[in-house]
Copies of this chain bind each other. A is one copy, B any other.
């Protein structure tokens, strides 16, 4: 309900919408962005294709001209989230040096990716596994988590490393529940998570 609410049939179609200047057509990425935001607001199942098309500024049928279906949008969004996360593991800092340092690097970068790819990662973290697409994404996510879990086991062995790793991932991932871009700078967020995770609430 941001801009063009059509109270009656007067609002003209076609060139309408939020596009800036250049006659930019609807790209897949732009529609995925719209969809991801809507999915996060109301939940995937509670979001109808009608909702999405209206958010994009066109009718449901026109929307289908650009996108094959609802699940395709979800898949594209999840792809983007997973690419961001696995990209971290491919960085030098994730495989070089002592386990603590590698873990620290990953955690800090993970916070950054969560912040920059917020809507996509949020979607990933709220999956239920109802469709094949969702189960595939969940499996990849588990892969990522297990990489971190192995590192945690190397860092601290006095507590159950499985539990410790879960709590670590939980802390980082919980960002999606409240972080919104703009209010807190990402750099500050990274520092806060780093300190809380590695030092705790007490000094």
Contacts and interface: CB of A to CB of B under 8 A. Distances in A.
A167 B192 CA distance: 9
Given A46-B128, A193-B167, A160 B174 contact: no
A164 to B, nearest CB: 6
13 contacts: A152-B201, A156-B202, A163-B189, A166-B174, A166-B178, A168-B196, A168-B201, A170-B175, A171-B171, A171-B174, A173-B174, A173-B177, A199-B202
Main secondary structure of the interface of A (DSSP, over half): helix
Contacts of A178: 166, 170
Contact of A43 (B43, B184, B196): B43
A150 to B, nearest CB: 14
Interface in A143-172: 152, 155-156, 159-160, 163-164, 166-171
B41 A128 contact: yes
A151 to B, nearest CB: 11
A155 to B, nearest CB: 6
Contacts of A184: 160, 163
A23 to B, nearest CB: 35
Contact of A196 (B44, B167, B188, B195): B167
Nearest to A47: B45
Contact of A155 (B43, B166, B201): B201
Contacts of A188: 160, 163
A82 interface: no
B174 A170 contact: yes
A46 B42 CA distance: 13
Nearest to A145: B178
Given A198-B201, A199-B200, A202-B198, A43 B128 contact: yes
With most chain B CB atoms within 10 A of its CB, the pick from A159, A184, A189 is A159
A130 interface: yes
A29 to B, nearest CB: 24
